[in-house]
Amino acid sequence: MIGAFRLHKAYGRTAVLEDVSLDLAAGQCLALLGPNGAGKTTLLRIFATLLRPTSGELAVAGVDALRQPEAARAAIGVVAHGSYVYEDLSAIENLRFWTVMGGGDASRGRLRDALQQVELDAVAGERVRTFSAGMKRRLGLARVLLGRARLLLLDEPFTGLDQQGKKWLSEFLLAFKAGGGALVVATHSFGSGLGVADRVAILAGGRLLLDRPCGDLSWDELRRLYDSLTEGNGAVG
Amino acid sequence: MKATRVLGWLAAAGVLAGLIAAFGYAPREAVQGNVQRIMYLHVPAVLTAYLAFAFVLVGSIAYLVTRRAGWDRLAAAAAEIGVLFTGVTIASGSIWGRPTWGVWWTWDARLTSTAVLFLVYVGYLLLRAMVEEPEARARYAAVVGIVGAANVPIVHFSVYWWRALHQPATILAPGKSPLAPSLGLPLAVNALGFALLFFYFLARRMEIARIEEEA
Amino acid sequence: MTAYARRAWIVLWKDLLTERRSKENLNALLFFSLLLLFLFQFALGPDREGLRAALPGLLWLGFILAGLLGLGRSFMTERDNDCWEGLRLTPGDKSAIYLGKFLGNFVMMSAVEVAVLALFGLFYDVELWPVLGPLAVVLPLGTVGLAAVGTLFAAMTAQVRARELLFPVLLLPAQVPLLLAAVSVTQAVLLGRPLAEVAHWLKLLAAADLVYVVIGVLTFEFVLDA
């Protein structure tokens, strides 16, 4: 689903990502761990075709994402802190807009279905302005459900959710994986993100320092590795 | 760069030749006197300005197609030089007008067209100055460059028709009357000299831009 | 409807819906136009004839000034709601977004212009009924050009820090030919001349409009995307 080869991203002389290569297959979930400023968001944005790398190659969903970003976008779903909702529109109106923009079928039934799956059907007609952060995130996921995303990129998705919200999200992501989708979850904490992951990668100082299947390491080992690798390698300048 | 230095010498020679032609070879005009010689500055300046803006268009389109920074540098450099020559055109037109017509400014077709052109490309440069991120700057500038270039013929027609309503064409348009060879030759020499000067400035400005970018 | 047309339509739908809910833009623009009316009157003095003669110019000046305010905010909701990226992520030809926005702006500007026209007729005592037909030709022609370039530049300046300065600086030079043409036609129309007399201006307007919309459609993706 993702084939990244030697990605570099530099702003002028400052390198934000250096020589990052990784692969992700369908039905897999990668947890991208790293301290703040390590370049996780940048890498995720490059995967999402929102940002162009300075050099390197990237294939997403079988398409050369650098030369044909448009073709890759149909298969990509992004859940980031910017939740892409219009505050003055209602939940269902937002879904209608984004679904049509994504080229999908926006019939009322389908939209209501998606809202039901994310447990927002009760507030379908309410303006999003009144929603909490968690609700907005669920709306973003409903949007993804209505699209044809086969790759989900999530940037700190569990932040700000309560215990129940986290449980709900984990189940959602596992279901997505079971359906053949691929996931990248970027996070800086050892939380729920790791629970759904098959592989874990550590990004620090713009470099990929580890990329291993989750089964290989115990939590403690991972924790120790993480601390030692990120010790001198904090935020990028 | 060696080639740029050669170009510089050629340009200097061209401009010198132009000066000699304008003051030595060209005759003194019967009605306006020596001030008419400013035509040898005014007309080549506006021609060079148009040459510059053509380069802005080429650079803009090429950048959007190839995304190579070199094309953006070309467009930016050409725009700066174009604005310079446009300024010279307007100033020389104004200086020509003062003793001839008694006013610093007339809203005649060419002067007005050129002034609008000046505004368009100063806007282009302001845009470049206000956008910090180089990639966004290049993209936006390219789009504005294309709109500006597309506007040039439209501005031309509209201004000329507009003037036709208010005033017949003025003498400040030598293209209207057939040029005697004694006037034509110095004009051509100056035009060539200015073109060489333009290319020299362009080459130097692009070099400087490339060095600045890599620093 | 093709997917492209559906996307353009949904953008238009969203903008009109948002405007209808908040009403902030239209109301403010209408009020602004009313203010302009008074400003022009005060600036030009009580000379009735002078005002009448300047009317075509004042009318279009008013439209352009209102356009500067209204068009500059075209992508405000996208910026405020962080939806810029969301739009970038959508697949397919981005120019559908441009067309949707452009049409929305055209509708908004037209609404303002009709109101301004009515107010001008009222306050400056101008007989508009007999020339309503020709006016209905020249107003849209001028507005298309204004909205086409305005939408494109608004998208560009939405992300720039000094957008309130940069937007007028970019838009106004581009509006010069439209202004000349539209004012010339409007002047002729208000004097009761037939449209055929100013056909060359109308053709210029139409040609310019076509050029601006085509450029907008072709270059919008470069403004939106990285």
Closest by Cβ to A70, choosing from C10, C86, C92: C92
Chain A interface includes C6 (CB < 8 A): yes
Closest by Cβ to C177, choosing from B144, B148, B151: B151
Closest by Cβ to B155, choosing from C165, C177, C223: C177
CA angle, A185 as apex, A179 and A188 as ends, to 5°?
Answer: 160
| Model confidence at B133: pLDDT above 90 | no
Q: What is the per-residue pLDDT across C35-46, written as a single tens digit (0 to 9) for each?
A: 988 888 888 877
- Averaged pLDDT of chain B: 83
Mean pLDDT across the stretch C120-148?
A: 89
**Separation of alpha carbons A90 and A85, rounded Å:** 9
Minimum mean pLDDT among A220-224, B22-26, C38-42: which range? B22-26
Q: Which tokens sit at B101?
A: 């017509």
Chain B interface includes C144 (CB < 8 A): no
User: Cβ–Cβ of C219/B130 closer than 8 Å?
Assistant: no
Q: Which residues of A touch C7 (CB under 8 A)?
A: 100-101, 103
Q: Binning pLDDT at 50, 70 and 90, where does residue A134 land? A: confident
What single DSSP character describes residue A216?
Answer: G
Chain A interface includes C16 (CB < 8 A): no
pTM for the model stands at 0.87
Q: Binning pLDDT at 50, 70 and 90, where does residue C191 land? A: confident
Better-scored residue on pLDDT, B99 or B47 = B47
Please give the residue of chain C at the shortest CA–CA distance from A52.
C226
Mean pLDDT across the stretch A132-139?
A: 84
CA angle, C178 as apex, C177 and C183 as ends, to 5°?
Answer: 105
Distance of CA A110 to CAs A87, B20, C220, Å?
22, 81, 31
What single DSSP character describes residue B108?
Answer: -
3-class secondary-structure state, position B1 = coil
| Model confidence at B151: pLDDT above 60 | yes
Residues B57/B145, Cβ–Cβ less than 8 Å: yes
Closest C-alpha to A208, from A230, A237, A232, A231: A230
Strands A182-187 and A151-155: parallel
Chain A interface includes C226 (CB < 8 A): yes
Q: Helix and strand tally (H, E) in chain A?
A: 8, 10
Q: Which residues of B touch C215 (CB under 8 A)?
A: 146-147, 150
pLDDT of residue C95: 93
Radius of gyration of chain C (CA): 18
What single DSSP character describes residue B38?
Answer: G
Residue A170 Cα to chain centre, angstroms: 13
Q: Which residue has the tokens 């001198």?
A: A232
Q: Binning pLDDT at 50, 70 and 90, where does residue B75 land? A: very high
pLDDT of residue A236: 38
Q: What is the per-residue pLDDT across A181-198, written as a single tens digit (0 to 9) for each?
A: 899 988 877 777 777 888
Q: Which residues of B touch C165 (CB under 8 A)?
A: 130
Mean pLDDT across the stretch A114-142?
A: 86
pLDDT of residue B172: 44
Other beta carbons within 10 angstroms of residue B178's beta carbon come to: 8
pLDDT of residue B170: 45
ipTM above 0.85, yes or no: yes
User: Cβ–Cβ of A82/C10 closer than 8 Å?
Assistant: no
Mean pLDDT across the stretch C87-93?
A: 86
**Separation of alpha carbons B69 and B74, rounded Å:** 9
Dihedral sign, Cα of residue B101, residue B105, residue B108, residue B114: positive
Beta bridge partners of A64: A59
Q: Binning pLDDT at 50, 70 and 90, where does residue B165 land? A: low
| Model confidence at C219: pLDDT above 90 | yes
Minimum mean pLDDT among A93-107, A111-125, B9-23, B40-54: which range? B9-23
Proportion of chain C in helix, strand, coil states, percent, rounded to 5: 85, 0, 15
Q: Binning pLDDT at 50, 70 and 90, where does residue B173 land? A: very low
Q: What is the per-residue pLDDT across A18-36, written as a single tens digit (0 to 9) for each?
A: 888 888 888 889 988 888 7
Please give the residue of chain B at the shortest CA–CA distance from C183.
B162
Radius of gyration of chain A (CA): 18
Q: Which tokens sit at B2?
A: 């060696």
**Separation of alpha carbons C120 and C125, rounded Å:** 7
Strands A207-213 and A199-204: antiparallel
Q: What is the per-residue pLDDT across A85-95, written as a single tens digit (0 to 9) for each?
A: 888 889 999 99
**Separation of alpha carbons B140 and C153, rounded Å:** 9
Q: What is the per-residue pLDDT across B86-119, written as a single tens digit (0 to 9) for each?
A: 999 998 888 877 777 777 787 777 788 889 999 9
**Separation of alpha carbons A77 and A179, rounded Å:** 15
| Model confidence at B168: pLDDT above 60 | no
